[in-house]
A and B are shown apart, each in its own frame.
Chain A
């Protein structure tokens, strides 16, 4: 009996030890994903950029969207406001779109259609809807909070000459966007250089890549991003230019007043 007890204690100790080790690994993985989230979606306290989006279908036919995007972080890693002013194509030019992002909850979204002077509130239940017909979803644009997934550091390797952490993320609750995600995070600046999205049959659905990383106002920024829809054999690229960080943007910009009257100090 005594012997058995000792064995049990040893086994328990070993087991809990390995659990602790695993937990530590997971903590590290979560820490990396948090940093990656902040690096990609919360750079600076605010930001303004000109965006060119190219949507290319399986036949090589291209469609272009051009817009100005403004962002203000209300809380680092938490609430954020987004403002989009469309320039092209012609049928959406001058249209403005505003999002108050609230992590773990539905976003508040507004659309202003100047040709009819209409402020429309948009139901935002589904964050996996396509963003303006592209391969990016709303969530790809504003980010999914790191604590909604369980993360595991599966290996460390080199990707295109950069040292990366390879992390597997599985949603804590059943999720439509993906069943499993594998991220390749740059060890130096924590930018996700690649993300693979798998569905519940573990088939690769979409692949995100940061095609170009540049130093802007002292901040490493993915200025060219690509999302490949593997199943549909099409992709979307997003190119950021005229990027500015920490311009001292006010929260007031993200209200109906400025939705109807684009702030011309940022938007031309």
Chain B
């Protein structure tokens, strides 16, 4: 009879050193330089556990040289984890939080995303931006109740004109460069301006089913304060549900969310998004032992669309009542999984825009990985989701040494 190993505190250090260099493909991009990335990153991961609690820290030192050379220091994660009684887990501090079923489509996951990193070829782990949160999970026979409280609202990191250009509705075109640096106005740092997210999840056989609630703000500055001519983050509540299960030799998922736009309940304020119903369905399957593909379809329906249209002033861009998005990811593993080819495309037939991400990654040794990739945007109009970034096409190379 063996017995579980119990040791006193232990500490582990690991991380990586990475160089990322990328350049734009559009000569008419109105950003400062043609570079999209020129950075050297050192990540330190420190993990420590004793019998009572665990600590985890992930710290990035970045020498960023794409414009003005400077050294950034970012604490990606710094949290403690502990258990109270048998059924209650706490995770407190700076951390990444993710839930929901979509592959790069987020309906009920209203935790901060970093599209600035995502669009220029940083690793997938940088798509999620950290939030300083209080997180608890309570496990019962009925299911799991999770709650995440973020005292200070944490918005998405979106292109601001500095490194990546964006669409500015005031100018009516794609802008970038120093004159157009853009920042949304944050809600005041008050107790009532925190974010609260909750999830209840459980299994029915092999299907995992979840219900979600969010109270906070739009994560992008989608509201326009016409008095101060400032973009800001309007209040938002979201109610949603998801199911995910094995089906047809793969995994299928369905998720829906009702976006309740609290500052535009009637839908008659054209400066704030109307309430919207967002739904998606997805399916992933391994097609050969080294090739996996998935397909997703998302629909967003704007509620009170007639009221919105009636309130829209002359000259504003109309948003269609229905938005459709199709995405697909393909992954091919070669040479005993040392060579990985991957592609992800977003295509919206309603907005007529497109975003494709492609990469080839080769693990020369366990420690050394070489990656080449690209991000391609296209669109008929500048004001659509991906069309707004159509001048940001870029390619990059990345060298990572893990330790």
**B-binding residues in A (CB < 8 A):** 48, 55, 57, 61, 63-64, 88-91, 93-94, 106, 108, 115-118, 121-126, 128-130, 132-134, 217, 234, 242, 244-247, 256-257, 261, 264-266, 268
Contacts and interface: CB of A to CB of B under 8 A. Distances in A.
A194 to B, nearest CB: 23
24 contacts: A48-B2, A48-B4, A57-B336, A63-B365, A90-B366, A91-B400, A91-B402, A93-B45, A94-B47, A108-B206, A116-B125, A117-B96, A118-B98, A123-B285, A125-B249, A125-B285, A130-B289, A130-B336, A133-B338, A217-B2, A242-B5, A245-B2, A265-B4, A268-B5
Contact of A89 (B6, B333, B402): B402
A48 B333 CA distance: 30
Contacts of B54: 264
A63 B366 contact: yes
Given A121-B246, A133-B337, 9 more contacts: A63-B338, A90-B366, A91-B400, A108-B246, A115-B96, A115-B125, A130-B337, A242-B5, A268-B5
A264 B49 contact: yes
B84 interface: no
A117 B95 contact: yes
Contacts of B249: 106, 123, 125
B16 interface: yes
B289 A90 contact: no
Chain B interface, >50% SS class? strand
Contacts of A261: 81, 89
Nearest to A106: B246
B286 A126 contact: yes
A268 B6 CA distance: 9
Contacts of B15: 90
Given A89-B366, A90-B402, A246-B2, A122 B96 contact: no
A109 B246 CA distance: 10
A63 B208 CA distance: 36
B284 interface: yes
A234 B336 CA distance: 10
Contacts of A246: 1-2
Contacts of A106: 246, 249
Interface residues of B, number: 56
Interface of B: 1-7, 10, 14-16, 45, 47, 49, 51, 54, 58, 81, 89, 95-98, 124-125, 127-128, 137, 139, 144, 206, 208, 244, 246, 249-251, 284-286, 288-290, 292, 333, 336-338, 363, 365-367, 369, 400, 402-403
A115 B98 CA distance: 10
Given A91-B402, A115-B125, A117-B95, A129 B246 contact: no
Nearest to A135: B336
Nearest to A133: B337
Contacts of B5: 242, 265-266, 268
Contacts of B58: 115
Given A91-B16, A265-B4, A116 B96 contact: yes
A247 B2 contact: yes
A261 B314 CA distance: 54
A257 B14 contact: no
A117 B400 contact: no
B150 to A, nearest CB: 14
Nearest to B76: A115
Given A63-B366, A91-B369, A268-B7, A123 B292 contact: yes
Nearest to A102: B206
A88 B366 contact: yes
Contacts of A244: 2-4
A268 to B, nearest CB: 6
A123 B400 contact: no
B59 to A, nearest CB: 13
Given A90-B14, A106-B246, A257-B137, A133 B336 contact: yes
For the complex of A and B, list the 10 residue pairs with the smallest distance between their C-beta atoms, beginning with the closest.
A90-B402, A244-B2, A133-B337, A115-B125, A89-B366, A265-B4, A123-B250, A125-B249, A117-B98, A129-B289
Contacts of A64: 366
A125 B338 contact: no
A233 B1 CA distance: 41
Given A125-B286, A265-B6, A90 B251 contact: no
Contacts of B127: 116
A116 B403 contact: no
A70 B96 CA distance: 27
Contacts of A63: 338, 363, 365-366
B11 to A, nearest CB: 11
Given A247-B3, A266-B4, A257 B338 contact: no
Contact of A257 (B1, B89, B366, B400): B89
